[in-house]
Amino acid sequence: MRTIGDRLLREKAGFKQGMLFDFYPEGEGPDKPKLAQLHGPSHFERSLMESELNRRVQRVAMQLLGPKARFVSDSFFHKPAHTEAVTPWHQDEAFTDPRIEHREVNFWFPLQPVSLTNGCMQFIAGSHIGPVLPHGPIGGDPSTHGLECVTGFNAGEAVVCPLELGDCTIHAGRTLHFAGPNHSDAPRYAYSMVFGLPRRASKEVRSFPWNDNRRLSRQARVNDSRTRDSFWPYLSRKVREFDYTNPYEWRLGAERVARLIKGKRTAG
């Protein structure tokens, strides 16, 4: 797993599609990320979906969520050696569309032993049963991909989770979590897999204003990947991700198509 992740990151797989990005502002380009994240590496290395790890994680996810649990996404993370960059306190659900209910669990695997020295995971116990707390872009910069929780918790209550190879942590979408700087002499690698139940409309009327008016530095690459030259790889990824058994996904898909048609008519 470490070999695959290292190769994909060195090859900058997914950069042109906006799937490889810096959690922080991308001012220095792809060669000097503060915290690199490759979202969806299984799109570039299909063997990840055929691994024994994938099969074992799915079995655990079904124990936690029920028999309808399915693979949602995966990511590789790279935190350089001797960096002060942290993965700030946040809830994964804060990144999502508030109109949609996400019932997911995230499996986080270190690809070397991790401790406070190189940035192991830390959690706020019980936060998974609370609400999504107010967030904002890191440092108030709307171009950065990362979010940070700005209020509503006590970092002094953090539970530190050092891990060895073969260990993992599992957290829900509302679990507050954090990973500190990497003060070691080697990069810190990690791999995560998200499994979830079929999406459905949220029972609450919610808004996540921190996701409005974002100007993500990777957005231009995302848009370019959906043009005529790169449209078919993009469509192939979406087809693999689509849950055909969920009527709500068909409704969401129809809404996206309607917005696309409306946008083209307006442009015309």
pLDDT of residue 243: 84
- φ, ψ of residue 188 to 5 degrees: the values are -105, 120
pLDDT tens-digit map of 60-104 = 999 999 999 999 999 999 999 999 999 999 999 999 999 999 999
Of 55-59, 81-85, 189-193, 224-228, the poorest mean pLDDT is in 224-228
pLDDT tens-digit map of 107-155 = 999 999 999 999 999 999 999 999 999 999 999 999 899 999 999 999 9
pLDDT of residue 252: 84
Looking at per-residue pLDDT, the higher value among 46 and 225 belongs to 46
pLDDT of residue 228: 63
Question: What band does 57 get if pLDDT is binned at 50, 70 and 90?
Answer: very high
**Beta-bridge partners for 148:** 136
Looking at per-residue pLDDT, the higher value among 18 and 29 belongs to 18
Q: Check whether 17 has a pLDDT greater than 60.
A: yes
SS3 217: coil
pLDDT of residue 87: 96
pLDDT of residue 105: 98
pLDDT tens-digit map of 212-255 = 988 888 888 888 877 766 676 777 777 777 788 888 888 888 88
Question: What band does 28 get if pLDDT is binned at 50, 70 and 90?
Answer: low
E-only strand ranges, the chain: 20-22, 36-39, 70-79, 87-90, 100-101, 104-110, 121-124, 135-137, 147-149, 158-161, 169-172, 177-179, 188-196, 200-201
Helix (H) or strand (E) holding 177: strand 177-179
Looking at per-residue pLDDT, the higher value among 213 and 156 belongs to 156
pLDDT of residue 82: 96
- Taking Cα atoms as reference points, which of 236, 176, 216 lies closest to residue 40? 236
Q: How far apart are CA 194 and CA 21, in angstroms?
A: 19
pLDDT of residue 97: 93
Residue 20 falls in which region: left (phi positive, over 0), alpha (psi -120 to 50) or beta: beta
Looking at per-residue pLDDT, the higher value among 260 and 19 belongs to 19
- Taking Cα atoms as reference points, which of 178, 184, 138, 188 lies closest to residue 27? 138
Q: Check whether 265 has a pLDDT greater than 70.
A: no
Kindly report the pTM of this predicted structure. 0.89
Mean pLDDT score of the chain: 91
| Domains delineated in the chain | 2-225 (2.60.120.620)
